[in-house]
Structure 1
Amino acid sequence: MTPITEVEGRRVALSNLEKVIHPATGFTKGELLHYYATTADALLPHLHDRPLSFLRYPDGPDGQTFFAKNVPPGTPDWVTTAEVPRSEGPARMVLIQDLPSLMWAANLVTEFHTPQWLIDAPGEADRLVLDLDPGHPATIVECCEVALWLRERLAADGVEAYAKTSGSKGLHVLAALTERTPSREVTAYAKDLAVEAEHTLPHLVVHRMTRSLRPGKVFVDYSQNAARKTTATPYTLRAGTEPTASAPVTWEEVAGCTDPAELTFRAQDITPRLQTYGDLLAPLLAR
């Protein structure tokens, strides 16, 4: 039988709690659900009013993974959904607005990915993101160097930047926009930043996705500002061999990073960090 748990008055089915999801550490689905329950206060505001894209990995990273934007079959009627415009026609997507919805979605074993806009104004961005992706043998250490340059460059335009790990190999630089801006304009601005970064740091940065250009350099991916694109939400766990999280970090940590291990955060690291720092990305929510 599938255990039913009551979460804030909603009945949520939680299944296969002993199933190992992250094989390198034996991290189970029950531990994954516990992680999301204990980080919900920080995570939920970053999900609120943003249509959710699911990257599901129900059998762990070595099993089938699939990306879905539409409302999954069997979604409870109390989970909020909304119609979202798409080039191929409108689609209905999930909004995670409360703890019961979060636990239902977490039970599907999903990475949480969200766009840079809110449901009341699709395609009108309220934040900017630059995804720094290192090409081997570069690591997050090189990403940190690029992130510090981007921080200064954004500050010159009066924009305050924040950082988080991707939870995979790289780093995300984020900024709140003072007013809603068409995603295409934000994308164009972000591309200008990426091109300027490559011009200034040619030994370190590439702004094009071309694989042959990327070894040993940091790809500054500006395209996630496009209205149709999504980025790993702060605090989401990632589909890797270990339960690594996309974790907000301080600029002091970025500046001091000399080893990738210093900016690798697992599920068990996040609650202590929240106790120490609170949500380092809270300023992005002060709309």
Structure 2
Amino acid sequence: MTPITEVEGRRLALSNLEKVLYPAAGFTKGEMLHYYATTADPLLAHLRDRPVSFLRYPDGPDGQVFFTKNVPPGTPEWVTTTEVPRAEGPARMVVVQDLPSLMWAANLVTEFHTPQWRAQAADIADRLVFDLDPGAPATVVECCEVALWLRTRLAEDGIEAYAKTSGSKGLHLLAALEPVPSGEASAYAKRLAVEAERELPGLVVHRMTRSLRPGKVFVDFSQNAARKTTAAPYTLRARPEPTVSAPVTWDEVEDCAEPEALAVRAGDMAARLREHGDLLAPLLDPDRTHPLPRPV
């Protein structure tokens, strides 16, 4: 029988708790649900009011992996949804606003991905993001070098950046913006990516072309586009081990000498939260947003 759990007054059927999702670590679905329950406060803070796309991997990272943007069939009526504009016409997406909704979504075995805008203001960015993706043999170590350059460059424009691991191979840089059309955020991010390639020619590439990327860090600015999403802070990733897209300190970025130094797993997060709290909390502070500089 599927156990029924009550979460803040909502009844949830949580299935297959003993199923091993991450064979390399022996990490079960029950442990995944425990991770999301114990990380709920900061995760919900970063999901709130943002339509969520789910990357689902019900049989683990080695099984079928598929992306879900629309409200999944069987979604409980108490889960918040919102209408979002699409080129092919409006669609409905889930907005994870509370713990029961988070645990319902986690039971589907998901990564959580969000756009850089909120449901009340589709296509108006309130975050800037750079996805630093290393091309082998480059690793997150090289991403950290690029991140430090971008941090300094953003500071010159009065923008404070924060870092998190992608939970995969790379690093994400985030900054809080005064609301601005997504197209303007994208154009600004592209200018900085091009500038990074010019200043760090042996290290950075700003184009996605695969042949250009070996040994370099691709500074992906495209996730600022209104239709794109980025792995949310604290989400688990569909990787061989239960790695997390985890906020990191700038000291950790500066000191990173080997890829394992920034490999944060589900079991690490409770201690990290006790030590640091939510390192990305400033992104949620309306008094710490930054205006986007205008093109010269």
TM-score range, shorter chain: over 0.9
Q: Using the TM superposition, give the Cα deviation of residue 241 of structure 1 relative to its aligned residue in structure 2, in angstroms.
A: 1.1
Counterparts of 1:267 and 1:233 in 2: how far apart (Å)? 14
Detail structure 1 runs of 4+ shifted over 3 Å in the superposition. none
Provide the residue aligned with 2:22 in structure 1: 22
Q: Which amino acid aligns with 1:77?
A: E
SS of alignment partner, residue 39 of structure 2: helix
Equivalent residue letter for 2:183: R
* 1:207 correspondence with 2:210: no
Kindly state the Cα deviation for residue 88 of structure 1 after the two structures are TM-superposed: 1.0
State how far apart, in whole Å, the 1-side matches of 2:145 and 2:101 are: 38
Structure 2 gaps of 5+ residues are: 287-296
1:2 is aligned to 2:2: yes
Partner of 1:187: 186
Say yes or no: does 1:105 pair with 2:105.
yes
In structure 1, the residue corresponding to 2:202 is in which secondary structure? coil
Which residue number corresponds to residue 248 of structure 1?
247
CA apart distance, 1:163: 0.2
For 1:218-237, list aligned pairs within 5 A. Answer: 218-237=217-236
Which residue in 1 is equivalent to 2:166? 166
Aligned-residue RMSD, C-alpha: 0.4
Structure 1: give runs of 5+ residues left out of the alignment.
Answer: none
Paired residue secondary structure (2:271): helix
The AA in structure 2 aligned to 1:168 is: S
* Pair 1:124-2:124 in alignment: yes
Between the two proteins, the alignment pairs up a number of residues equal to 286
SS at match of 1:92: strand
For residues 240-282 of structure 1, the C-alpha deviation after alignment (integer angstroms, 9 at most, x for no partner) is: 1100000000000000000000000000001100000000000
Equivalent residue for 1:198?
197
Q: Deviations over 1:183-202 (max 9, x none)?
A: 00000000000000000000
CA distance in structure 2 between the aligned counterparts of 1:167 and 1:52, rounded to whole angstroms: 18
TM-score between both structures, scaled by the size of structure 2: 0.96
Tell me how far apart the structure 2 counterparts of residues 166 and 133 of structure 1 sit (CA, whole Å): 9
CA distance in 2, matches of 1:12, 1:46: 23
Show the 5 A alignment for 1:64-75.
64-75=64-75
What is the CA–CA distance in structure 2 between the aligned matches of 1:206 and 1:55, rounded to whole Å?
27
Which residue number corresponds to residue 13 of structure 1? 13
Map of 2:294 onto structure 1: none
- 3-state secondary structure, aligned to 1:228: coil
CA distance in 1, matches of 2:13, 2:71: 17
TM-score with structure 1 setting the length = 0.99
